[in-house]
Structure 1
């Protein structure tokens, strides 16, 4: 279906577009909302084990990574002989408390406020499935005492070293369509992009430099891309620098992800009582960023 669209190779269609995005094996495609086809009787939302959620996310999400999770939900297709997992939402714990305390200063981070760290639906899901799924995730979180959710949309497209688009930049189409508050951009930064189009983030680099838990897995990722194995006695920081150069990692200038906020409550009054530490911004983003190589 992707090849039928005039904007098939664009990072993301505008917020006002009648299209919604789907994934399978880290390849994106599009669905027309007007085509409908969503039948709530065909689906259910329930908790899913971390092992199952992780396997699903690693198989289908463009990041090829799994975050530190607090709770995860599955969208199950119950129309089949055996219920089939068709989507996963992971609500996690960000690296910094400030990710939660800045937008929700009165909420207890990691308990009353969380981050929506992964949200991915298979390409077989019809239009409007994501809004239905997200609403039920929020209802379950509210029952567990969560009152605030922070979601980020990364507007910078990801391409392999050969130019193949592997991740369309996101502006937060689904969040805008589900009454989230747009709160501007997160901090601008430079990100390290690997030849396969995935991001080698600063936390992963820190694990290698400090030889923390998970550093071996991170090293193997680079070795699989062509980096030499570290020699005994080699300083981890030096090896990391050499490894990134060996695989041809690129620096990409990033203006900051778009930040969206959900206030959860059983009524409009309950939601409005949650104080925001960041002002609502206008206009909402409509187009993705361009990809800029850092000097």
Structure 2
């Protein structure tokens, strides 16, 4: 993701910055190819701070051809959100998860020069249009994320307003719903759905429990009430609740021709792009 004059890159879970003072992006050095889910997930979990992987429909890789063998240096994932409304609100006439998808991951290594994301995304969008995708929605998180490592706190993500989406001519659709997040010490979010898996004894709860134990929580006893255990575990690892103002929502119409793009209806009011001063709002 980007802010004016800077663009964020990743390597091994740590962010770095590229600036206009660095090397110029050379498109002749790169190619874009479809990826299988395993390779895309391994790349994103290794390099992106969230260390998580969403449900995806299509995945594309940016390959650096400058090396002896092509090297994977970026991934874009077009995913399936937890609720169809994420897609049907902006694209009421499109079939969700088929004709409309979420741009759920955009991760580039620090070897990719500034403006590489715009070039990469433009080619991904053309490929997606060939698969019948006619609309994408994406979100920019305006709240900084901080990670606690060995007693010290470091910022790993500043607030984003979606500069890359603005550069790609997305429409701005305002903010998503305000909500309260449960933030873990590694800067990831423990979603309400993940918490419900634990308290409700649902399938997948073991993975959530293991995640909290890795962060320092004591494992639950076999006969322990998991609702009480979850509350205790979150306190023990220093999780905190934070009010979130809502992400910036963007949408773009895709198509192989201008006619295909213009036939897609955006069902939400569009507005002016947010400015950098809103990044920490």
Match of 1:152 in 2: 139
**SS in structure 1 opposite 2:102?**
strand
Q: Secondary structure at the match of 1:213?
A: coil
Residue in structure 1 matched with residue 208 of structure 2 by the alignment: 218
Tell me the TM-score normalized by structure 2. Answer: 0.93
Q: Which moved more, 1:143-152 or 1:236-245?
A: 236-245
Q: Which deviates the most, 198-207 or 221-230? A: 198-207
> Residue 188 of structure 1 contacts residue 256 of structure 1 at CA under 8 Å; is this kept in 2?
yes
Report whether the alignment pairs 1:278 with 2:268: yes
RMSD: 1.8
For 1:53-132, list aligned pairs within 5 A. 53-132=40-119
**How do 1:44-59 residues align onto structure 2 when only pairs under 5 Å count?**
44-59=31-46
Match of 2:129 in 1: 142
Q: Corresponding residue for 1:3?
A: none
Match of 1:234 in 2: 224
Q: Give the distance between the partners of 2:212 and 2:280, measured in 1 at CA.
A: 26
Instruction: State the Cα distance separating 1:281 from its structure 2 match.
Output: 1.4
Does the C-alpha gap of structure 1 residues 76 and 283 become closer, same or farther in structure 2, counting only changes over 3 Å? closer
Alignment length (residue pairs): 278
- Counterparts of 1:174 and 1:34, CA distance in 2: 18
1:152-171 matched pairs, under 5 angstroms: 152-161=139-148, 162-171=152-161
5+ long unaligned stretches in structure 2: none
Normalised TM-score (structure 1):
0.89
Is the partner of 1:103 in helix, strand or coil?
A: coil
Q: Deviations over 1:34-54 (max 9, x none)?
A: 655322221111111211111
Instruction: Give structure 1 stretches of 5+ with no counterpart.
Output: 1-10
Contact 1:36 1:128 in 2 (8 A): no
What do residues 71-128 of structure 1 show as CA deviations (whole Å, max 9, x unaligned)?
Answer: 1111011221221100001111100010000000000000000001110100000122
